[in-house]
Amino acid sequence: MRSPADNAQLALLLEVAGTPKPGNVDRRREYDDLRFEHFLAGGVGAGTGLRAAEAGAPVGWAFEESVAGMSHQGGGNTQFGCLLDLVPLVRAAAEGRLSVTGVKRVCRETTVDDACGFYRAFDHVDVTVGDPPPDLDVPDVRRGSDAVGDLRERGLTLWDVMERSASGDGNAREWVEGFPRTFAAAAGIYDDEGPATERVARAFLTLLAQEPDTLVTVQHGSAVAREVQERAETAKRDLDAASDLADEFVEREINPGTTADLTAAAAFVALERGWEP
């Protein structure tokens, strides 16, 4: 039997194999400097941190460990956001409380030390983030471990950081709400039919059609993010149309990374619920 950490690792692999996932690296598409094998190596490298999360290590520490392990490959940031979602989900699963309420409690229980681990994780890879809005009352994540003193002085927990970031970040929003979109998408994967790679692709398209993707907003602005969302709505029931869209988005370097993060999280929950690829 696979443990929660094993299922999280498998979810990372199924996410990148899922095809077509317009704009993202998938089984059939990649970028010259961000290739399929970088995600395989990232998924394997994250294992130690995921197993630490399963065994009860602090969430922030396990997250930093998983990101550090992930970073030993030539593609740069492959699965930072996926791991941010997966670590509390793995912990909740290991504690037998993998539900909206259960994972929300894991997130609420995070401490200032967890916030420090989260910021330190930014030292290991270049994560694409936008300029923080002027009213955002947490240290800029781009400061990485330099922000640790600040976090301690102000007594900010990881929950505080996520709650204050939620309005501008799809992963942070999911975190503080108990992963409602993730659980819904997991049910979709579980009830779907066909090969794993196609189920994952349909889950990705469904999530992409629900909300503008944070990473697309950061990289291309909100008008493009809305266009991406609308076009996913049309493509989500037709993988051939999605395939054309995938070619176009790769060409335009439109990379809905936050939606891919939630897709990996959804695949994890589906595996934990008994989905057997």
Task: Select from 38-46, 52-60, 205-213, 219-227 the region that touches a second copy (CB under 8 A).
Answer: 38-46
* Site size with a second copy, rule: CB under 8 A: 30
Of 15 and 169, CB closest to a second copy: 15
| CA atoms of 267 and 53, how far apart (whole Å) | 18
Residues present in the chain in total: 277
Residue 45 interacts with a second copy (CB under 8 A)? yes
Is the distance from CB of 224 to CB of 216 less than 8 angstroms?
yes
Closest CA to 28 of 40, 38, 13, 16: 16
Task: Select from 12-20, 89-97, 132-140, 172-180 the region that touches a second copy (CB under 8 A).
Answer: 12-20
**What is the token pair recorded at 82?**
């996926």
DSSP 132: P
What is the closest distance, in whole angstroms, from the C-beta atom of residue 51 to a second copy in the complex? 9
Site for a second copy in 58-117 (CB under 8 A): 69, 72-74
Of 14 and 209, CB closest to a second copy: 14
What is the closest distance, in whole angstroms, from the C-beta atom of residue 43 to a second copy in the complex? 8
Of 119 and 275, CB closest to a second copy: 275
Distance of CA 83 to the CA centre of its chain: 6
42-69 in b/e form (b: 16+ CB < 10 A) is bbbbbbebbbbbbeebbbbbbbbbbbbb
Residue 17 interacts with a second copy (CB under 8 A)? yes
Count of C-beta atoms within a 10 Å radius of residue 101: 9
Site for a second copy in 157-216 (CB under 8 A): 195-197
**Residue ranges binding a second copy (CB under 8 A):** 1-2, 6, 9-10, 13-14, 17, 27-28, 35-38, 40-41, 43-45, 47-48, 69, 72-74, 195-197, 276-277
